[in-house]
Structure 1
Amino acid sequence: MSDDFPVGSLLAGLGPEERGELLTLGTGRQYGAGSVLMRQEETAHDVYIVLDGYVKVTAITAEEQLALLAVRSRGDLVGEIGVIDGSPRTATATAAGAVVCRCIGGEAFRAFLARHPAVYDAVTRSVTAKFRSAIRRRLEYVDGSVRARLARVLLEFVTHWGIPAPEGIMIAVGLNQAEIAALVGATERSVNETFAEFRTEGTISVGYRRIVIRDVEALHKAALGCPDGAGRRERAAGQGQ
Protein backbone atom coordinates (compact mmCIF):
# COMPACT_ATOMS: atom_id res chain seq x y z
CA MET A 1 0.00 0.00 0.00
CA SER A 2 1.57 3.29 -1.10
CA ASP A 3 1.81 6.38 1.09
CA ASP A 4 0.94 8.51 -1.95
CA PHE A 5 -2.68 9.42 -1.34
CA PRO A 6 -4.92 10.68 -4.15
CA VAL A 7 -5.00 14.40 -4.77
CA GLY A 8 -8.08 15.87 -3.11
CA SER A 9 -8.15 13.39 -0.23
CA LEU A 10 -7.68 14.67 3.31
CA LEU A 11 -4.40 12.84 3.88
CA ALA A 12 -2.90 14.17 0.65
CA GLY A 13 -3.45 17.71 1.93
CA LEU A 14 -1.63 17.21 5.25
CA GLY A 15 2.04 17.68 5.94
CA PRO A 16 4.15 14.55 6.58
CA GLU A 17 4.43 15.14 10.33
CA GLU A 18 0.73 15.84 10.84
CA ARG A 19 -0.27 12.90 8.64
CA GLY A 20 2.14 10.60 10.47
CA GLU A 21 0.85 11.62 13.90
CA LEU A 22 -2.77 11.26 12.82
CA LEU A 23 -2.13 7.74 11.58
CA THR A 24 -0.68 6.71 14.96
CA LEU A 25 -4.03 7.40 16.61
CA GLY A 26 -6.68 4.74 17.09
CA THR A 27 -6.41 1.22 15.73
CA GLY A 28 -6.12 -0.39 12.33
CA ARG A 29 -9.13 -2.33 11.13
CA GLN A 30 -10.02 -4.48 8.16
CA TYR A 31 -13.51 -4.99 6.77
CA GLY A 32 -14.84 -7.48 4.27
CA ALA A 33 -17.27 -6.64 1.48
CA GLY A 34 -20.64 -5.63 2.88
CA SER A 35 -19.36 -4.92 6.41
CA VAL A 36 -20.85 -1.82 8.02
CA LEU A 37 -18.46 0.72 9.51
CA MET A 38 -21.20 2.99 10.87
CA ARG A 39 -24.98 3.22 10.68
CA GLN A 40 -27.35 6.09 10.02
CA GLU A 41 -28.93 7.59 13.18
CA GLU A 42 -26.58 5.88 15.63
CA THR A 43 -24.45 7.91 18.07
CA ALA A 44 -21.11 8.95 16.57
CA HIS A 45 -18.13 7.69 18.56
CA ASP A 46 -15.37 7.25 15.95
CA VAL A 47 -14.00 8.55 12.68
CA TYR A 48 -12.50 6.35 9.97
CA ILE A 49 -9.58 7.09 7.67
CA VAL A 50 -9.70 4.88 4.58
CA LEU A 51 -6.24 3.50 3.80
CA ASP A 52 -7.21 1.00 1.11
CA GLY A 53 -10.41 -0.01 -0.67
CA TYR A 54 -13.73 1.75 -1.16
CA VAL A 55 -16.51 2.71 1.23
CA LYS A 56 -20.09 3.40 0.10
CA VAL A 57 -21.94 6.15 1.96
CA THR A 58 -25.73 5.68 1.83
CA ALA A 59 -28.82 7.02 3.56
CA ILE A 60 -32.50 6.18 3.77
CA THR A 61 -34.66 9.14 2.79
CA ALA A 62 -37.91 10.28 4.40
CA GLU A 63 -39.69 8.33 1.62
CA GLU A 64 -37.84 5.17 2.72
CA GLN A 65 -35.76 5.17 -0.46
CA LEU A 66 -32.07 4.25 -0.61
CA ALA A 67 -29.80 7.14 -1.59
CA LEU A 68 -26.18 6.51 -2.51
CA LEU A 69 -24.51 9.73 -1.37
CA ALA A 70 -20.84 9.14 -2.13
CA VAL A 71 -17.98 6.70 -2.41
CA ARG A 72 -14.88 7.28 -0.27
CA SER A 73 -11.45 5.83 -1.00
CA ARG A 74 -7.79 6.05 0.06
CA GLY A 75 -6.97 9.06 2.18
CA ASP A 76 -10.59 10.04 2.79
CA LEU A 77 -12.14 10.70 6.18
CA VAL A 78 -15.51 9.14 7.04
CA GLY A 79 -17.79 9.93 9.96
CA GLU A 80 -16.28 13.23 11.02
CA ILE A 81 -19.47 15.33 11.04
CA GLY A 82 -21.18 13.49 13.89
CA VAL A 83 -17.96 13.36 15.92
CA ILE A 84 -17.33 17.09 15.54
CA ASP A 85 -20.85 18.38 16.25
CA GLY A 86 -22.19 15.56 18.42
CA SER A 87 -25.14 14.80 16.13
CA PRO A 88 -26.34 11.30 15.19
CA ARG A 89 -24.87 9.73 12.08
CA THR A 90 -26.38 11.18 8.92
CA ALA A 91 -25.51 8.14 6.79
CA THR A 92 -24.39 4.51 6.75
CA ALA A 93 -20.90 3.57 5.59
CA THR A 94 -20.42 0.11 4.07
CA ALA A 95 -17.30 -1.57 2.70
CA ALA A 96 -17.49 -2.07 -1.07
CA GLY A 97 -15.00 -4.91 -1.16
CA ALA A 98 -12.04 -5.35 1.19
CA VAL A 99 -11.30 -2.18 3.17
CA VAL A 100 -8.39 -1.22 5.41
CA CYS A 101 -8.86 1.82 7.61
CA ARG A 102 -7.78 3.58 10.78
CA CYS A 103 -10.50 3.90 13.40
CA ILE A 104 -9.95 6.86 15.73
CA GLY A 105 -12.05 7.61 18.81
CA GLY A 106 -13.92 10.88 18.77
CA GLU A 107 -12.21 12.31 21.85
CA ALA A 108 -8.73 11.56 20.50
CA PHE A 109 -9.67 13.00 17.10
CA ARG A 110 -11.03 16.24 18.58
CA ALA A 111 -7.94 16.59 20.77
CA PHE A 112 -5.71 16.13 17.71
CA LEU A 113 -7.61 18.86 15.85
CA ALA A 114 -7.22 21.18 18.84
CA ARG A 115 -3.43 20.64 18.77
CA HIS A 116 -3.25 21.18 15.01
CA PRO A 117 -5.37 24.13 13.84
CA ALA A 118 -4.10 23.66 10.27
CA VAL A 119 -5.54 20.14 10.22
CA TYR A 120 -8.81 21.43 11.65
CA ASP A 121 -8.92 23.87 8.74
CA ALA A 122 -8.17 21.02 6.30
CA VAL A 123 -11.01 18.95 7.77
CA THR A 124 -13.35 21.94 7.51
CA ARG A 125 -12.40 22.38 3.85
CA SER A 126 -12.94 18.67 3.27
CA VAL A 127 -16.43 18.79 4.79
CA THR A 128 -17.25 21.89 2.75
CA ALA A 129 -16.07 20.17 -0.43
CA LYS A 130 -18.32 17.20 0.33
CA PHE A 131 -21.33 19.47 0.72
CA ARG A 132 -20.47 21.31 -2.50
CA SER A 133 -20.15 17.99 -4.31
CA ALA A 134 -23.52 16.85 -2.97
CA ILE A 135 -25.17 20.08 -4.13
CA ARG A 136 -23.52 19.87 -7.56
CA ARG A 137 -24.59 16.24 -7.95
CA ARG A 138 -28.14 17.10 -6.95
CA LEU A 139 -28.26 19.86 -9.56
CA GLU A 140 -26.58 17.90 -12.34
CA TYR A 141 -28.07 14.47 -11.82
CA VAL A 142 -31.70 15.53 -11.62
CA ASP A 143 -31.44 17.48 -14.87
CA GLY A 144 -31.95 15.78 -18.21
CA SER A 145 -32.85 12.27 -19.25
CA VAL A 146 -31.92 9.14 -17.33
CA ARG A 147 -29.46 8.42 -20.15
CA ALA A 148 -27.67 11.76 -19.66
CA ARG A 149 -27.66 11.48 -15.87
CA LEU A 150 -26.32 7.92 -15.93
CA ALA A 151 -23.59 8.99 -18.36
CA ARG A 152 -22.56 11.78 -15.96
CA VAL A 153 -22.37 9.34 -13.07
CA LEU A 154 -20.27 6.89 -15.09
CA LEU A 155 -17.92 9.69 -16.15
CA GLU A 156 -17.46 10.67 -12.50
CA PHE A 157 -16.61 7.04 -11.76
CA VAL A 158 -14.02 7.12 -14.56
CA THR A 159 -12.42 10.27 -13.14
CA HIS A 160 -12.16 9.05 -9.57
CA TRP A 161 -12.03 5.25 -9.74
CA GLY A 162 -11.17 4.27 -13.31
CA ILE A 163 -8.28 1.86 -13.89
CA PRO A 164 -6.93 0.64 -17.26
CA ALA A 165 -8.35 -2.63 -18.55
CA PRO A 166 -7.72 -4.51 -21.83
CA GLU A 167 -11.11 -3.49 -23.22
CA GLY A 168 -11.22 0.07 -21.82
CA ILE A 169 -11.44 1.67 -18.38
CA MET A 170 -12.76 -0.46 -15.53
CA ILE A 171 -14.54 1.12 -12.57
CA ALA A 172 -12.60 -0.15 -9.57
CA VAL A 173 -15.39 0.13 -7.01
CA GLY A 174 -18.13 -2.49 -7.16
CA LEU A 175 -21.65 -1.07 -7.15
CA ASN A 176 -24.87 -2.81 -8.06
CA GLN A 177 -27.43 -1.22 -10.35
CA ALA A 178 -29.79 -0.43 -7.47
CA GLU A 179 -27.07 1.68 -5.87
CA ILE A 180 -26.25 3.38 -9.15
CA ALA A 181 -29.95 4.07 -9.70
CA ALA A 182 -30.05 5.73 -6.27
CA LEU A 183 -27.14 7.96 -7.26
CA VAL A 184 -28.70 8.79 -10.63
CA GLY A 185 -32.05 9.57 -9.03
CA ALA A 186 -34.01 7.17 -11.24
CA THR A 187 -35.80 3.84 -10.95
CA GLU A 188 -33.71 0.71 -11.12
CA ARG A 189 -35.72 -0.44 -14.14
CA SER A 190 -34.96 2.71 -16.16
CA VAL A 191 -31.27 2.50 -15.25
CA ASN A 192 -31.17 -1.17 -16.27
CA GLU A 193 -32.75 -0.27 -19.61
CA THR A 194 -30.21 2.51 -20.16
CA PHE A 195 -27.34 0.18 -19.28
CA ALA A 196 -28.70 -2.18 -21.93
CA GLU A 197 -28.68 0.66 -24.49
CA PHE A 198 -25.06 1.52 -23.68
CA ARG A 199 -24.06 -2.15 -23.94
CA THR A 200 -25.78 -2.50 -27.33
CA GLU A 201 -24.03 0.61 -28.60
CA GLY A 202 -20.65 -0.72 -27.43
CA THR A 203 -20.14 2.15 -25.00
CA ILE A 204 -19.80 -0.09 -21.93
CA SER A 205 -19.63 -3.72 -20.92
CA VAL A 206 -21.15 -4.93 -17.68
CA GLY A 207 -20.61 -7.98 -15.48
CA TYR A 208 -21.37 -8.79 -11.86
CA ARG A 209 -20.45 -5.58 -9.99
CA ARG A 210 -18.10 -4.81 -12.86
CA ILE A 211 -18.41 -1.94 -15.33
CA VAL A 212 -15.95 -1.26 -18.13
CA ILE A 213 -16.18 1.94 -20.14
CA ARG A 214 -15.28 1.07 -23.73
CA ASP A 215 -16.00 4.44 -25.39
CA VAL A 216 -15.45 7.48 -23.17
CA GLU A 217 -16.17 9.91 -26.01
CA ALA A 218 -19.61 8.38 -26.58
CA LEU A 219 -20.29 8.67 -22.86
CA HIS A 220 -19.38 12.37 -22.93
CA LYS A 221 -21.83 12.90 -25.80
CA ALA A 222 -24.55 11.06 -23.91
CA ALA A 223 -23.90 13.20 -20.84
CA LEU A 224 -24.49 16.31 -22.96
CA GLY A 225 -27.81 14.89 -24.14
CA CYS A 226 -26.68 13.98 -27.64
CA PRO A 227 -28.76 11.38 -29.52
CA ASP A 228 -28.09 7.72 -28.81
CA GLY A 229 -25.65 5.56 -30.69
CA ALA A 230 -28.04 4.34 -33.35
CA GLY A 231 -26.00 5.99 -36.08
CA ARG A 232 -22.81 4.47 -34.81
CA ARG A 233 -24.44 1.04 -34.68
CA GLU A 234 -25.60 1.39 -38.28
CA ARG A 235 -22.11 2.44 -39.43
CA ALA A 236 -20.56 -0.46 -37.55
CA ALA A 237 -23.05 -2.86 -39.12
CA GLY A 238 -22.25 -1.47 -42.59
CA GLN A 239 -18.53 -1.92 -42.05
CA GLY A 240 -19.10 -5.52 -41.07
CA GLN A 241 -20.89 -6.36 -44.33
Structure 2
Amino acid sequence: MSLFGQDRSFLHALPASDRRDLLAEGAPRSYEPGEIMIRERDTSAYVLALLSGWAVVSVGTERGARLILALRGAGEVVGDLAAVDQGPRSATVTALGRVEAVAISGDRFRRFLAARPHATSLIMRQLATRLRSADVERRSLASETVLRRLAARLVELAERAGRRAEAGTVLELPLPQHDLAAAIGATREAVAKALRLLREQGVVDTAHRTVVVVDMPLLVLLAQGRARPGADSSDKSPPAV
Protein backbone atom coordinates (compact mmCIF):
# COMPACT_ATOMS: atom_id res chain seq x y z
CA MET A 1 0.00 0.00 0.00
CA SER A 2 1.24 3.50 -0.71
CA LEU A 3 0.20 7.04 0.15
CA PHE A 4 2.44 8.46 -2.52
CA GLY A 5 2.29 8.45 -6.29
CA GLN A 6 4.97 7.27 -8.67
CA ASP A 7 8.60 8.08 -7.93
CA ARG A 8 8.63 10.60 -10.78
CA SER A 9 5.72 13.01 -10.73
CA PHE A 10 3.60 13.95 -13.74
CA LEU A 11 5.05 17.45 -14.14
CA HIS A 12 8.63 16.29 -13.72
CA ALA A 13 8.11 13.50 -16.26
CA LEU A 14 6.95 15.98 -18.92
CA PRO A 15 9.48 17.57 -21.27
CA ALA A 16 10.35 21.06 -20.04
CA SER A 17 8.56 22.73 -22.95
CA ASP A 18 5.35 20.76 -22.33
CA ARG A 19 5.52 21.56 -18.63
CA ARG A 20 5.81 25.27 -19.37
CA ASP A 21 2.93 25.09 -21.86
CA LEU A 22 0.68 23.31 -19.37
CA LEU A 23 1.35 25.75 -16.52
CA ALA A 24 0.79 28.66 -18.90
CA GLU A 25 -2.77 27.36 -19.44
CA GLY A 26 -3.73 28.01 -15.83
CA ALA A 27 -3.77 30.59 -13.07
CA PRO A 28 -1.79 30.52 -9.79
CA ARG A 29 -3.58 29.67 -6.57
CA SER A 30 -2.46 29.55 -2.96
CA TYR A 31 -4.03 27.45 -0.21
CA GLU A 32 -3.63 27.75 3.55
CA PRO A 33 -3.19 24.72 5.85
CA GLY A 34 -6.49 22.88 6.22
CA GLU A 35 -8.11 24.63 3.26
CA ILE A 36 -10.16 22.42 0.92
CA MET A 37 -8.78 22.54 -2.61
CA ILE A 38 -11.22 20.08 -4.20
CA ARG A 39 -14.38 18.73 -2.60
CA GLU A 40 -15.71 15.17 -3.00
CA ARG A 41 -18.83 14.86 -5.21
CA ASP A 42 -18.42 18.42 -6.50
CA THR A 43 -19.06 18.85 -10.23
CA SER A 44 -16.13 21.17 -10.96
CA ALA A 45 -13.52 19.88 -13.41
CA TYR A 46 -10.40 22.00 -12.95
CA VAL A 47 -7.02 20.36 -12.42
CA LEU A 48 -4.49 21.56 -9.87
CA ALA A 49 -0.79 21.27 -10.68
CA LEU A 50 1.05 21.38 -7.35
CA LEU A 51 4.17 23.56 -7.26
CA SER A 52 5.01 23.33 -3.56
CA GLY A 53 3.64 21.89 -0.33
CA TRP A 54 1.64 18.75 0.43
CA ALA A 55 -2.04 17.93 -0.02
CA VAL A 56 -4.13 15.12 1.50
CA VAL A 57 -6.55 13.13 -0.68
CA SER A 58 -9.42 11.65 1.33
CA VAL A 59 -12.95 10.26 1.10
CA GLY A 60 -15.79 10.22 3.56
CA THR A 61 -17.12 6.90 4.88
CA GLU A 62 -20.68 5.81 5.59
CA ARG A 63 -19.96 6.18 9.31
CA GLY A 64 -19.02 9.83 8.90
CA ALA A 65 -15.28 9.20 9.28
CA ARG A 66 -12.52 10.10 6.86
CA LEU A 67 -10.17 7.73 5.04
CA ILE A 68 -6.94 9.20 3.67
CA LEU A 69 -6.13 7.72 0.28
CA ALA A 70 -2.96 9.56 -0.65
CA LEU A 71 -0.53 12.39 -0.12
CA ARG A 72 0.32 14.54 -3.13
CA GLY A 73 3.31 16.86 -3.36
CA ALA A 74 5.14 19.20 -5.70
CA GLY A 75 5.09 18.11 -9.34
CA GLU A 76 1.87 16.12 -9.09
CA VAL A 77 -1.58 16.92 -10.44
CA VAL A 78 -4.85 16.40 -8.58
CA GLY A 79 -8.37 16.52 -9.95
CA ASP A 80 -7.32 14.93 -13.23
CA LEU A 81 -9.86 12.08 -13.04
CA ALA A 82 -12.86 14.44 -13.07
CA ALA A 83 -11.21 16.47 -15.83
CA VAL A 84 -10.78 13.36 -17.98
CA ASP A 85 -14.13 11.61 -17.45
CA GLN A 86 -16.12 14.78 -16.60
CA GLY A 87 -17.81 13.01 -13.68
CA PRO A 88 -18.21 14.20 -10.05
CA ARG A 89 -15.16 14.51 -7.86
CA SER A 90 -14.17 11.15 -6.39
CA ALA A 91 -12.33 12.55 -3.35
CA THR A 92 -11.58 15.65 -1.30
CA VAL A 93 -8.16 17.29 -1.55
CA THR A 94 -7.05 19.36 1.46
CA ALA A 95 -3.89 21.41 1.95
CA LEU A 96 -1.70 19.80 4.63
CA GLY A 97 0.47 22.90 4.88
CA ARG A 98 0.64 25.97 2.66
CA VAL A 99 0.28 24.87 -0.98
CA GLU A 100 1.11 26.75 -4.16
CA ALA A 101 -0.58 25.44 -7.30
CA VAL A 102 -1.74 26.30 -10.79
CA ALA A 103 -5.44 25.76 -11.59
CA ILE A 104 -6.16 24.59 -15.15
CA SER A 105 -9.68 24.23 -16.52
CA GLY A 106 -10.83 20.75 -17.48
CA ASP A 107 -11.32 21.79 -21.12
CA ARG A 108 -7.78 23.13 -21.41
CA PHE A 109 -6.33 20.10 -19.66
CA ARG A 110 -8.12 17.73 -22.06
CA ARG A 111 -6.92 19.73 -25.06
CA PHE A 112 -3.37 19.58 -23.70
CA LEU A 113 -3.57 15.78 -23.39
CA ALA A 114 -5.13 15.39 -26.83
CA ALA A 115 -2.23 17.25 -28.45
CA ARG A 116 0.45 15.30 -26.56
CA PRO A 117 0.20 11.49 -26.58
CA HIS A 118 3.16 11.25 -24.20
CA ALA A 119 1.28 13.29 -21.57
CA THR A 120 -1.82 11.12 -22.06
CA SER A 121 0.31 8.03 -21.48
CA LEU A 122 1.68 9.52 -18.26
CA ILE A 123 -1.82 10.26 -16.97
CA MET A 124 -3.02 6.75 -17.82
CA ARG A 125 -0.01 5.26 -16.04
CA GLN A 126 -0.73 7.47 -13.03
CA LEU A 127 -4.37 6.34 -12.89
CA ALA A 128 -3.30 2.69 -13.20
CA THR A 129 -0.82 3.09 -10.33
CA ARG A 130 -3.51 4.59 -8.12
CA LEU A 131 -5.93 1.77 -8.97
CA ARG A 132 -3.35 -0.90 -8.11
CA SER A 133 -2.56 0.89 -4.85
CA ALA A 134 -6.28 0.93 -3.97
CA ASP A 135 -6.47 -2.85 -4.54
CA VAL A 136 -3.51 -3.42 -2.22
CA GLU A 137 -5.08 -1.12 0.35
CA ARG A 138 -8.32 -3.12 0.40
CA ARG A 139 -6.40 -6.34 1.02
CA SER A 140 -4.44 -4.67 3.81
CA LEU A 141 -7.58 -3.41 5.56
CA ALA A 142 -9.09 -6.88 5.43
CA SER A 143 -6.12 -8.91 6.62
CA GLU A 144 -3.51 -6.88 8.54
CA THR A 145 -3.41 -5.66 12.13
CA VAL A 146 -3.45 -1.96 13.03
CA LEU A 147 0.16 -2.23 14.25
CA ARG A 148 1.36 -3.70 10.97
CA ARG A 149 -0.53 -1.14 8.87
CA LEU A 150 0.81 1.69 11.01
CA ALA A 151 4.36 0.37 10.76
CA ALA A 152 4.05 0.21 6.97
CA ARG A 153 2.80 3.81 6.82
CA LEU A 154 5.62 5.05 9.04
CA VAL A 155 8.23 3.24 6.93
CA GLU A 156 6.82 4.82 3.78
CA LEU A 157 6.66 8.30 5.32
CA ALA A 158 10.22 7.95 6.58
CA GLU A 159 11.50 6.85 3.18
CA ARG A 160 9.62 9.45 1.14
CA ALA A 161 9.39 12.45 3.49
CA GLY A 162 11.91 11.81 6.25
CA ARG A 163 14.95 13.80 7.38
CA ARG A 164 17.97 12.11 8.88
CA ALA A 165 18.86 13.36 12.36
CA GLU A 166 21.04 12.18 15.23
CA ALA A 167 18.05 10.62 16.99
CA GLY A 168 16.82 8.78 13.86
CA THR A 169 14.61 9.66 10.89
CA VAL A 170 12.29 12.59 11.51
CA LEU A 171 9.02 12.53 9.57
CA GLU A 172 8.73 15.95 7.93
CA LEU A 173 4.97 15.77 7.29
CA PRO A 174 3.04 17.12 10.30
CA LEU A 175 0.41 14.37 10.44
CA PRO A 176 -1.49 14.32 13.76
CA GLN A 177 -2.70 11.02 15.19
CA HIS A 178 -6.20 11.37 13.74
CA ASP A 179 -4.66 11.72 10.25
CA LEU A 180 -2.41 8.70 10.82
CA ALA A 181 -5.55 6.82 11.84
CA ALA A 182 -7.37 8.00 8.70
CA ALA A 183 -4.38 6.89 6.61
CA ILE A 184 -4.66 3.27 7.77
CA GLY A 185 -8.40 2.93 8.24
CA ALA A 186 -8.26 2.69 12.03
CA THR A 187 -9.57 4.62 15.01
CA ARG A 188 -7.48 7.28 16.71
CA GLU A 189 -7.54 5.20 19.88
CA ALA A 190 -6.16 2.14 18.09
CA VAL A 191 -3.36 4.21 16.55
CA ALA A 192 -2.52 5.78 19.94
CA LYS A 193 -2.24 2.27 21.42
CA ALA A 194 -0.01 1.06 18.57
CA LEU A 195 2.22 4.15 18.84
CA ARG A 196 2.53 3.62 22.58
CA LEU A 197 3.68 0.04 21.97
CA LEU A 198 6.23 1.23 19.39
CA ARG A 199 7.52 3.85 21.82
CA GLU A 200 7.82 1.34 24.65
CA GLN A 201 9.87 -0.93 22.41
CA GLY A 202 12.16 1.93 21.34
CA VAL A 203 11.08 1.76 17.71
CA VAL A 204 9.81 5.34 17.49
CA ASP A 205 9.75 8.50 19.55
CA THR A 206 6.87 10.98 19.36
CA ALA A 207 6.13 14.59 20.22
CA HIS A 208 3.42 17.03 19.09
CA ARG A 209 2.86 16.25 15.38
CA THR A 210 6.35 14.75 15.23
CA VAL A 211 7.42 11.13 14.84
CA VAL A 212 11.07 10.03 14.89
CA VAL A 213 11.85 6.52 13.66
CA VAL A 214 14.59 5.28 15.99
CA ASP A 215 14.87 1.63 14.89
CA MET A 216 14.15 1.45 11.15
CA PRO A 217 15.18 -2.23 10.67
CA LEU A 218 12.70 -3.39 13.31
CA LEU A 219 9.97 -1.09 11.99
CA VAL A 220 10.44 -2.60 8.52
CA LEU A 221 10.16 -6.14 9.92
CA LEU A 222 6.97 -5.18 11.78
CA ALA A 223 5.56 -3.71 8.56
CA GLN A 224 6.33 -6.97 6.76
CA GLY A 225 4.78 -9.09 9.50
CA ARG A 226 8.16 -10.72 10.16
CA ALA A 227 8.64 -9.59 13.75
CA ARG A 228 6.60 -9.63 16.96
CA PRO A 229 6.10 -6.55 19.13
CA GLY A 230 8.80 -6.68 21.77
CA ALA A 231 11.17 -8.79 19.65
CA ASP A 232 14.53 -7.49 18.44
CA SER A 233 15.33 -7.17 14.74
CA SER A 234 16.98 -10.61 14.65
CA ASP A 235 13.68 -12.32 15.53
CA LYS A 236 11.85 -12.91 12.24
CA SER A 237 9.15 -15.22 13.55
CA PRO A 238 5.51 -14.43 12.67
CA PRO A 239 3.76 -11.80 14.79
CA ALA A 240 1.55 -12.98 17.64
CA VAL A 241 -1.35 -10.72 16.69
* TM-score with structure 1 setting the length: 0.88
Partner of 1:177: 177
Q: Deviations over 1:53-103 (max 9, x none)?
A: 110001102332211111001111101111111111111100101111111
Partner of 1:190: 190
- Correspondences of 1:106-185 after superposition (within 5 Å): 106-185=106-185
Q: Provide the secondary structure at the position in 2 that maps to 1:23.
A: helix
Please tell me whether the aligned partners of residues 218 and 232 of structure 2 are also in contact (alpha carbons under 8 angstroms): no
Partner of 1:227: 228
Partner of 1:210: 210
Please tell me whether the aligned partners of residues 142 and 184 of structure 1 are also in contact (alpha carbons under 8 angstroms): no
Please tell me whether the aligned partners of residues 49 and 75 of structure 1 are also in contact (alpha carbons under 8 angstroms): yes
Change (3 A) 1:91 1:19: same
Please tell me whether the aligned partners of residues 67 and 184 of structure 2 are also in contact (alpha carbons under 8 angstroms): no
Partner of 1:32: 32
Q: Provide the secondary structure at the position in 1 that maps to 2:143.
A: coil
Change (3 A) 1:85 1:11: same
Task: Give the C-alpha shift of residue 231 in structure 1.
Answer: 6.0
Matched to 1:148, the amino acid is R
Task: Give the C-alpha shift of residue 49 in structure 1.
Answer: 1.1
Task: Give the C-alpha shift of residue 164 in structure 1.
Answer: 2.0
Q: Provide the secondary structure at the position in 2 that maps to 1:29.
A: strand
Q: Provide the secondary structure at the position in 1 that maps to 2:74.
A: coil
Q: Point out where structure 2 has 5 or more consecutive residues left out of the alignment.
A: 1-5, 234-241
In 1, the alpha carbon distance for the partners of 2:162 and 2:134 equals 20
Task: Give the C-alpha shift of residue 148 in structure 1.
Answer: 1.1
Deviates more, 1:46-55 or 1:132-141: 132-141
Please tell me whether the aligned partners of residues 142 and 185 of structure 1 are also in contact (alpha carbons under 8 angstroms): no
Task: Give the C-alpha shift of residue 141 in structure 1.
Answer: 4.4
In 1, the alpha carbon distance for the partners of 2:72 and 2:36 equals 14
In 2, the alpha carbon distance for the partners of 1:231 and 1:179 equals 28
